């Protein structure tokens, strides 16, 4: 749900293995997570304490201790974008899907291009795992944070799962 425009907005940064992350939220939840380079929104107040739970869960994710996020999220988007972003949250940790499969999942099997556009506008990278969407042929495709970061995130999740099960996790062609 989008926040009320009168709510104060907070921001902080978090160092991570994929670069500095900019976290932006308000009393309704996390509004965005951006990879460098990004600047805080005008009028937002620097307040690491307001986003401490987000930072802690991300640190656990990057340490391989967290497979799912439990945070209030408040991204702003169109109804279609919100539907796609909700579906992204259902992609299991360490697994991938394609734009076409995601389109079918939301009941619009011919909308893979629109799903790709919504995926590209995801304001909550990592937490809403748009990095888990790959091309139909199994190759890495566009990612707002760059393909190197997308590759790192997918390989990180694969390593974590392999460490938990003791067996290598089958990877896509990436």
Active-site residues, by number, are 130
Residue 148 Cα to chain centre, angstroms: 15
> Residue 26's closest CA among 43, 11, 42, 41?
11
Name the token pair of 88: 């992204």
Site of tokens 């299991």: 92
Return d(Cα 96, Cα 80) in angstroms, integer.
21
Per DSSP (E only), the strands in the chain are 9-14, 21-26, 29-35, 45-46, 97-98, 133-134
């Amino acid at each position: 749900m989008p926040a009320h425009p009168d709510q104060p907005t907070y921001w902080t940064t978090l160092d991570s293995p994929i670069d500095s992350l900019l976290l932006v939220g308000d009393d309704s939840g996390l509004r965005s997570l951006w990879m460098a380079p990004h600047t805080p929104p005008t009028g937002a107040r620097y307040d690491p304490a307001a986003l401490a739970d987000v930072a802690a869960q991300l640190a656990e994710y990057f340490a391989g201790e967290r497979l799912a996020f439990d945070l209030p999220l408040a991204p702003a988007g169109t109804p279609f974008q919100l539907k796609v972003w909700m579906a992204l949250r259902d992609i299991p940790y360490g697994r991938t899907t394609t734009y076409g499969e995601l389109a079918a999942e939301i009941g619009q099997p011919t909308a893979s291009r629109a799903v790709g556009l919504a995926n590209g506008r995801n304001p909550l990278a990592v937490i809403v795992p748009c990095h888990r969407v790959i091309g139909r042929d199994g190759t890495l495709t566009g990612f707002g944070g760059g393909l190197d970061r997308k590759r790192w995130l997918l390989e990180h999740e694969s390593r974590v799962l392999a460490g938990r099960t003791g067996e290598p996790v089958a990877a896509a062609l990436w």
